[in-house]
Amino acid sequence: MRGLALCRLLRRVSQPASQVLIAIALLTGAAVSAVAGDLEVPDPGLSPAERGYWFLLNRPYFNSDFKEATFDELWTVWEEPVRSEAEKADGTTRRKLALSRYGLMELPARGSNVPLQYVAASNGGWVTNCFSCHGGKVAGRVIPGLPNSHVALENMREDLYRYLEKHGRLDELADSGMPGVPLGGSNGTTNSVIFGIALGSQRDLLLNYVPRKTFPKMLHHDHDAPPWWNVKHKKMLYADGFAPKAHRALMPFLMLPQTGPEKFKAWEPDFKDILAYIESIEAPEYPFSIDRDLAARGQVAFNRVCAECHGTYGEGGEYPERNVDIEEVATDPLRFQALSPLARGGHQISWFGEHGKHKVNQYPAGYVAPPLDGVWASGPYLHNGSVPTLWHLFHADKRPVVWTRSEDGYDPARVGVEVTELADVPAEADLPVERRRYFDTRIPGKSAAGHEFPEQLNEDEKTAVIEYLKTL
């Protein structure tokens, strides 16, 4: 019944112009049919980290979103002219168009055409996994653990809804437990912090599902996932460093209505391995040329101006994990405000915080200065992904108001994502699917302001520090 009510609600707001975006079953998916039962087990010879990776690629923790055949037909509900383009294209090109539209990518080493962001369940369904947001590509290279700066959950949500509606199959939409929660307003970012709040509000302290009529106050804002290779350096997780690192802290995403406390307990060992995997990941090396002399000069300037917050690197390097006052860092404050002290405390006393065993930082000052390993790869920058390149981060007054990226382009001169800069979103981009290709820094939560610390460097030093950052 809840599913039906949700469908009705969806129908009411499915006009493309509607500002109200309804989260459907993207993270749970349309219930093609339940898949948990897929209990293929990993090879006993694997190490914990290898097992963790295996779980992420092979074990379905949700219901499947859809079958591959549905995915391959989604183009039939695309807008013109892309629909005609897809119609004329051969199968390979059409698949490529679909992957790009939904921010998905194939991992060649997987030896399968299932995108990195999905598990293929035994019933043929595709099930979302953590790589949805935590597996991406840079300069065309697909890297598990790299933030997915292409992720486009709303594009998928809208098309899947239209497709199922067209075929009279809306009953296949499962209940995500998050009605009214937008998934993400621009490609490459998601409202995922709020997913946790929305899902958590429907649970008691023992994780029983207790549906409520209302949700707590939610400050919707889009976030850019952080790279996983930095987790090993941290004691506290997330942008404000509020949650102690522990395997249970990785599990809130599983709080979908169909997942009861017994499943959380059964899956706990998997998440110990998943954490081991995350902590085993190394940052990728910069693939283009580096001017080593310039970088060495940059290191001196970096250690003078940046190291107090970001630490030192190489032999004997130290990471201070400094939590910087929100007024001082002055980047967009919405993420900081979105989690109240009460919500942070709620994590501590809940199952995820082992009922008080893991002490949260209930009153962080602001955002944590992250480690900068592999920073060349993890653009766009800042927690909200608002600044496309390091050069822009170093030139606060030159950061674009609106930008749009290319699919695989990399900008080695400015170090970061290849973008086109604009003063405004083009008028012809009137459909939501088109608007989401533009990152508009004027939208709440998306400001590119703040972090003006590099302004303490002169222009030569800036160039040198950017060169040094390529070596980390």
Of 6, 278, 295, 334, the one binding ligand HEC (CB under 6 A) is 278
Of 23, 143, 193, 194, the one binding ligand HEC (CB under 6 A) is 193
194 burial (CB, 10 Å; 0-12 / 13-18 / 19+) is buried
Of 53, 54, 229, 253, the one binding ligand HEC (CB under 6 A) is 253
What is the CA angle 309-312-318, rounded to 5? 90
If one asks whether residue 283 binds ligand HEC (CB under 6 A), the answer comes out as: no
Of 102, 319, 367, 403, the one binding ligand HEC (CB under 6 A) is 367
Kindly indicate which of the ranges 162-170, 300-308, 350-358, 405-413 contains the residues binding ligand HEC, using the contact rule CB under 6 A: 300-308
Residues 128-157 interacting with ligand HEC (rule: CB under 6 A): 130, 132-134
If one asks whether residue 465 binds ligand HEC (CB under 6 A), the answer comes out as: yes
122 burial (CB, 10 Å; 0-12 / 13-18 / 19+) is exposed
- Closest distance to ligand HEC from the beta carbon of 347 (Å): 12
**Pairwise CA distance, residues 319 & 30, whole Å:** 43
User: Distances in Å between the alpha carbon of 186 and those of 135, 222, 224, 298, 316?
Assistant: 17, 8, 10, 34, 40
Of 119, 197, 375, 417, the one binding ligand HEC (CB under 6 A) is 375
If one asks whether residue 419 binds ligand HEC (CB under 6 A), the answer comes out as: no
Q: Which of 315, 317, 292, 316 is nearest to 306 (CA)?
A: 317
**Pairwise CA distance, residues 128 & 64, whole Å:** 7
Kindly indicate which of the ranges 34-42, 199-207, 372-380, 419-427 contains the residues binding ligand HEC, using the contact rule CB under 6 A: 372-380
Q: Which of 439, 433, 404 is nearest to 17 (CA)?
A: 433
Q: Which of 239, 257, 271 is nearest to 48 (CA)?
A: 271
Measured from the CB atom, the residue of 106 and 452 that comes closer to ligand HEC is 452
Please check whether residue 129 is in contact with residue 119, taking contact to mean a CB–CB distance below 8 angstroms.
yes
- Closest distance to ligand HEC from the beta carbon of 287 (Å): 18
Tokens of 368: 């944590």
If one asks whether residue 451 binds ligand HEC (CB under 6 A), the answer comes out as: yes
If one asks whether residue 438 binds ligand HEC (CB under 6 A), the answer comes out as: no
Residue carrying the six token digits 């994502």? 417
Kindly indicate which of the ranges 6-14, 30-38, 160-168, 374-382 contains the residues binding ligand HEC, using the contact rule CB under 6 A: 374-382
For the stretch 105-109, contacts whose Cβ atoms lie closer than 8 Å and that sit 24 or more positions apart, written own/partner, are 105/135, 105/136, 105/137, 105/142, 105/150, 106/142, 107/135, 107/142, 107/144, 108/142
- In this structure, how many other beta carbons lie within 10 angstroms of the beta carbon of residue 436? 22
Q: Which of 155, 135, 132 is nearest to 144 (CA)?
A: 135
Of 190, 280, 348, 350, the one binding ligand HEC (CB under 6 A) is 190
- Closest distance to ligand HEC from the beta carbon of 298 (Å): 9
- In this structure, how many other beta carbons lie within 10 angstroms of the beta carbon of residue 109? 9
If one asks whether residue 441 binds ligand HEC (CB under 6 A), the answer comes out as: no
Kindly indicate which of the ranges 163-171, 205-213, 220-228, 291-299 contains the residues binding ligand HEC, using the contact rule CB under 6 A: 220-228
If one asks whether residue 329 binds ligand HEC (CB under 6 A), the answer comes out as: yes
Tally of CA atoms within 13 A in the half-sphere of 426 that contains its CB: 11
Residues 78-137 interacting with ligand HEC (rule: CB under 6 A): 130, 132-134
Q: Which of 57, 63, 6, 13 is nearest to 34 (CA)?
A: 63
Measured from the CB atom, the residue of 75 and 131 that comes closer to ligand HEC is 131
If one asks whether residue 370 binds ligand HEC (CB under 6 A), the answer comes out as: yes
Number of residues that bind ligand HEC (CB under 6 A): 45
Measured from the CB atom, the residue of 62 and 438 that comes closer to ligand HEC is 62
Measured from the CB atom, the residue of 75 and 159 that comes closer to ligand HEC is 159
> Which residues contribute to the site for ligand HEC (CB under 6 A)?
130, 132-134, 190, 192-193, 223, 225-226, 230-231, 234, 237-239, 250, 253, 274, 278, 305-306, 308-310, 324, 328-329, 331, 367, 369-370, 372, 375, 378, 381-383, 390, 393, 451, 453-454, 457, 465
